Chains A and B, each alone.
Chain A
Amino acid sequence: MSTLKYSYYPGCSLHASAGEYDLSTRELFKELDIALVEVPDWFCCGATPAHNVDELLSLSLCAKNLELAEQVEGDLAVACAACFSRLKFTQHTLGENETKRTQVEKALDAKVRLDGNVKHLLDILARDLGLDKLAGVVKTPLKGLKVACYYGCLLTRPPGVPNLDCVEAPTIMEDLLAAVGAETVSWTHRLECCGANFTLSRPGVVLQLTNAILESAKAAGADCIMVACPLCHGNLDIRQQEIEGVYKADYKLPVFYITQLVGMACGLTPERLGLEALIVDPKTLLKEKGLL
């Protein structure tokens, strides 16, 4: 029934530590009748480390991925906020800077293609499919679930580049959850950085920043957090117990991916959403809310 078709760039984390994001994305899209075909033999986008020390390499890796994506019909669907930001930044920069484009074309030994659309899953669910249509297929509204929507840094920044939503006051996640019947809380740390890849080099930094995020979500009365990025998820979920120990706090806030919460509302089973893989166990909360 649906004619929505996308090429799909999962990114490295979704094939490893964020397997449940990949699984829930594929299952949700199947349920919504949206075609998703993975780009064959895609590369790492270089993420933050590449542009941190070698912008030319970062731009070249992303441009190569954009070229590979052309093999599959449809706009490019991206799940990870970091990959999304880099691919968008590359399109933007190469479109505007002749020198950098020439250098990248030399590095790839090919002309770069900048005309394809790159879209985050949020954009596809909220705009391409549409909130009304989504609300129409909801089987189990997430009634009574109070969610803190966490955007992190890279979904909306830098200004004028991803153009997903307002750079300082986005609402796309809240709108999405309203369509599936969940409540969202108003809180302070929606767009604050979680420390991202410092999780490897300087985990102390991550603990401090992430603790502030968890504290803010808890203070706002949230039952759980929703994210759209595997790095944010890793820091908030995997490190949560450690943070509770270091900062003598008690959060117990399950951290869901966007596709897990929307999938739950669409009636997908916990197995199809990979809920088992979450470190902070959501079962008690979901049972309490009558969602499990």
Chain B
Amino acid sequence: MLNKSINFIGNRKYALIFSGLLSFMSLVSLGVNGLHLGIDFTGGSLIQVGYKESVDLNELRKSLAADNLGDATVQHFGSTKDVLIRLKLREGVSSKDLSTKVLEVINRGRAEPAELHRVEFVGPQVGEDLAQDGFLALLYSCFGILVYVAWRFEWKFSTGAIIATVHDVIVTLGLFSAMSIEFDLTVLAAILALIGYSLNDTIVIYDRIRENFLLSVADTTEEVMNIAVNETLSRTIMTSLTVFLVLLSLFFLGGEVIHNFALALLFGVVFGTYSSIFIASPAALMLGICRQDLLVQIKEGYDDGMP
């Protein structure tokens, strides 16, 4: 498909500056804005109702405020006929009856009552548990990958892969933070899936680098890497394209519930593809990977490759 040789590794300086800036900005945004966490993690109530006709949000807000529910956020969800109402956890008020009350209030005096589509209530303890489990999942999957790649390749590769993956996660989270997109359980699942995807790309390139090292296709590590990245380039683009296509379909047709999930993965695929080309290999290169690292390994069988 592509026979041109692009000097990806030689131009790593620009990629690293770009990624460094991007990661820095993401971290700043995460530090300043934080993540717009959904009720899965913060606790609270969410009520989704559907009307037969478009509905005026201000009217709903007014009736809610009249009943001491003024702190509710009311917004359209997908269409002007669907409304999403969010409530924070409240001290003292039995939150389990809250949804019933909200429905009663917004239906009061209406000829066409709203149809209840979805109610979610998450208590504070459950929210904390979900957040903790999510954090642990991120940690363990990174650790699992570190061990597997170190075992199959070499620790410098493994570290390079983790750097690229963490970069993708930070930048995706940064985008969610900067754009103030809600971060819920499905988005967390998407972030984890993204770790797997981003690695997938990186591993394919590493595999080719290893092969090229053993075949001695070039003299310098830099050249070997560049050849590998170029050889796998058409595959990298093709696979990213197929995944991107299905995600586009999910994003536009999968409905509101899955919207942010698809969005996180769309960001992730773009950055995952970018990082496996521009970050993963240069990172291993800068950690001092060389032909010997991989040759020793072959001679002694697959040991852990630690120096």
Is B one of A's binding partners? Answer: no
